[in-house]
Structure 1
Amino acid sequence: MSKLISDKYKAWQAECEERFLQLKKNEEELNRIFIDIYGLQDELTPDVADKDITVHRVYDTKDDVPDSMKGSNYVRTMRDEIVSLISYAVGCMFGRYSLDVDGLAYAEGEWDAGKYKTYIPDSDNIIPICDDDYFDDDMTDRFVKWVETVYGSDTLEQNLQFIADALGGKGSARETIRKYFISDFYSDHLKTYQKRPIYWLFDSGKKNGFKALIYMHRYQPDLLARMRTDYVHEQQERYRTQLSILEENVQSAEPSERVKLNKQISKLRDQALEIQKFEEKIHHLADQMISIDLDDGVKVNYAKFQDVLQKIK
């Protein structure tokens, strides 16, 4: 069996096409039967427009979508399918899904570690999203390990490249995937869940000084305190160390290199300032040990942390 995601995608695309054509055939046959029964041959045709068939049809790009499918709510692209794969992977990281269990593995209640054998979820329900390798268990690294676990190490680089090509963007496969998590993952998640996210993005602001994702259904009142101590403070220390190194290097750098280093220094200073303000906000909330009630719904619970969560637009 192939371990290439590209092959899995092609097989899924073919399965969707077969399902689409079969449903269209069935609907048109039913139309013929009813037209014959009621003698409506002069008034109706059995034909059903492609865009009115209510199962998904998958195209490589938006440019490949034919006019006959324009306006359909069931058109998907390769990017859509890869975004769904990434969403499932994130679900595995938080334990919502398991590679060993069909359907939902955890959506509240008592945690059953026995459901997770092949891939172990994150233990503290906090996964940082970084624009560099600041943590060895950040979202990008965890995703790479998930792909390797599911599809094997032999095909890892090919699979990462296929994912990156589907997402679009410049740079290496890992850089493209990292940029996706930083810039686009949450907007895709909000779209999928109709602005009622189950994963919440704690976000310091536009400079990307600090971002971390949690799973709403695993939230505990001490989560913010742990996030502040184990991740925010850790990130602040990394910024201080990085700035110290760069400021020392810039003194002896060649003019062309100095421009590059000064740009990095400026970026890090902005991020350090942003995360400092974020730390003050999260400190205030952490001291309150806020509880949530899942029965209140996403909107009510999300509002309790609106100062430190990415805004839902």
Structure 2
Amino acid sequence: DVKQGLATADNNRFLRLWQEVDINKCKFNAKSSDELLQSQKKWIPYNKGGQRRQWYGNYDYLVNWEKDGFEIRNFVDKNGKLRSRPQNRDSYFKEAITWGLITSGGFSIRYRSYGGIHDVSGMSAFFNGSLDLYYGLGLMSTKLSDFIFKMLNPTINLQVGDFKNFPVIIHKTKINIVDELVKENIGISKSDWDSFETSWDFGKHPFINGEKTIEQSFNTWNQITQKRFKELKSNEEELNRIFIDIYGLSDEMDEFVDDKDITLYRADVKNDVKSFISYAVGCMMGRYSLDKDGLVYAGGEFNSSNYVSFTADRDGIIPISDDEYFDDDIVHRFIEFVKVIYGEDNLEDNLKFIANALGGKSHSRAVIRNYFIKDFYKDHVKLYKKRPIYWLFDSGKKNGFKCLIYMHRYKKDTIARIRTDYIHEQQSRYRTALADLENRLNDSEGAEKIKLEKERDSIQEKSREILSYEEKIHSLADEMIEIDLDDGVKNNYDIFKNVLAKI
């Protein structure tokens, strides 16, 4: 059975990336509407299509289906006409095979486990007692699908009718081997998807694998990704051979699959080091812990006892500056993180490996600090699809003041703490530094004096910037603003847009 799903009529209102909301309000595996009602949860998986991805993945969005979707099912215009289209509700929560409406990157199809709802652009097919779901997925994942769909519909928009018209040949003696290969491929692709923090089944970073150096950790991870890639490619080619033979198309195509068509991640030292840094920040914030796999905190009551090996930041506010002005300076904490995992003996080699991966040319600590100041947040915003879960408070281009907070740990006094514990302290450090520079300038001359003058001018610019920024922060701190995670990043971020980095 091939069916279109829910049209909310207002995705901004009813959908969230899963990372945005309070995890305690989410239900990822409800088998029925009754089960969801009993759980009293609000957010469930929503299949929205997404990037080209084969076998498993694109688990990004959640939909508000609280009280059996009451709000969406009663979403009307000013004349009382229903705006949403909650169609084919008998298919909700069921497992499926799913594909995207738009196939410009080539047709791809994947398994979707039970527990969610699909929309009109994440079209889905459901088991009806006739065609085995895995057999259907195996067939549709071969070269035949593109070959036949291009005959049925040469445009890039693949409609429900095109899928229904696909000529299916069921070869009974091949069902078991096809099912076995498909299940293997789903497992491989799921392992790949879950290796990254943007999966709700993420356990821990792949570099936390028992090796003694980060270089060895990367090499082990590289071997894992290569093995996955080869296994999946071999299985896909075997499925091609089976179905090309079943359909009698050996004169039309071969079984071989191009590497570019395998939708698995392959290790990349720069990207993987950046993701390791992101995981480290997650451990600093308390989102993750070296003592537990998976998501440790994303809403609810914060429990500091979950972080023994590496303690989470006490207030979820981590300063980023051009020097180690604070005890919880982000570079200092990152170095401690590396030390906890790999030990002190290999620390310098590990920091050098990280700096080299980031493309830096100077001292490793300077390269890492520069990455946090200039590029970390851009990478974070990209990773979380412009819905960052860590927010950068940023005074401006002179880098007078920067700090990160974790939105799930935000409290109404967070802004006040930023002002009193961090901004005021930073201003004091600048005043001390300027006084020291003036004294040194009196006793200097020549090149040394020029160097000190440049340093003084830089700090003066930062001081002026932070003074102006403090006024904005002061105004917000006095308001004691509360946020609701259900409103999502976009709406909450907008409240503080005058003091946060632009997205």
TM-score, normalised to structure 2's length?
0.58
Work out the number of aligned pairs and report it. Answer: 294
| Equivalent in the alignment of 2:284 | 93
Output the CA distance in 1 between the equivalents of 2:311 and 2:327: 16
Residue identity in the other structure for 1:173: S
Give me the CA root mean square deviation: 0.8
Bigger fraction of residues in helix = 1
Residue identity in the other structure for 1:276: L
| Equivalent in the alignment of 1:206 | 397
- C-alpha displacement of 1:113: 2.4
Output the CA distance in 1 between the equivalents of 2:244 and 2:472: 67
8 Å Cα contact 2:222/2:266 also seen in 1: yes
Matched, 1:129 2:329: no
- C-alpha displacement of 1:45: 1.1
Output the CA distance in 2 between the equivalents of 1:266 and 1:284: 28
Q: Unaligned 5+ residue runs, structure 1?
A: 59-76
8 Å Cα contact 2:287/2:296 also seen in 1: yes
Output the CA distance in 2 between the equivalents of 1:126 and 1:217: 12
Output the CA distance in 2 between the equivalents of 1:211 and 1:291: 22
Output the CA distance in 1 between the equivalents of 2:473 and 2:304: 30
Output the CA distance in 2 between the equivalents of 1:79 and 1:49: 24
Matched, 1:28 2:237: yes
- C-alpha displacement of 1:251: 1.4
| Equivalent in the alignment of 1:220 | 411
Matched, 1:120 2:311: yes
- C-alpha displacement of 1:110: 1.2
Matched, 1:79 2:270: yes
Residue identity in the other structure for 1:48: V
| Equivalent in the alignment of 2:214 | 5
More moved, 215-224 vs 131-140? 131-140
- C-alpha displacement of 1:83: 0.5
Output the CA distance in 2 between the equivalents of 1:218 and 1:102: 20
Q: 2:477 aligns with which of 279, 286, 289?
A: 286
SS at the partner of 1:57? coil
Partner deviation per Cα, 1:113-141 (whole Å, 9 max, x = no partner): 23211111000111100111212320000
| Equivalent in the alignment of 2:438 | 247
Output the CA distance in 2 between the equivalents of 1:170 and 1:206: 23
| Equivalent in the alignment of 1:237 | 428
The higher relative CO (CA closer than 8 Å, separation ≥ 6) is in 1
Partner deviation per Cα, 1:35-68 (whole Å, 9 max, x = no partner): 111111111111111100011122xxxxxxxxxx
Runs of at least 4 residues of structure 1 off by over 6 A?
Answer: none
Matched, 1:298 2:489: yes
Output the CA distance in 1 between the equivalents of 2:241 and 2:361: 51
Q: 1:18 aligns with which of 215, 222, 227?
A: 227
More moved, 303-312 vs 169-178? 169-178
Output the CA distance in 2 between the equivalents of 1:224 and 1:288: 9
More moved, 156-165 vs 128-137? 128-137
| Equivalent in the alignment of 1:69 | none
| Equivalent in the alignment of 1:192 | 383
| Equivalent in the alignment of 2:258 | 49
Identity of aligned residues (%): 59
Larger Rg: 2
8 Å Cα contact 2:304/2:312 also seen in 1: no
Output the CA distance in 1 between the equivalents of 2:456 and 2:361: 23
Partner deviation per Cα, 1:256-310 (whole Å, 9 max, x = no partner): 1000000000100000000000000000000000110000000000000000000
- C-alpha displacement of 1:199: 0.2
Output the CA distance in 2 between the equivalents of 1:272 and 1:112: 37
Residue identity in the other structure for 2:366: E
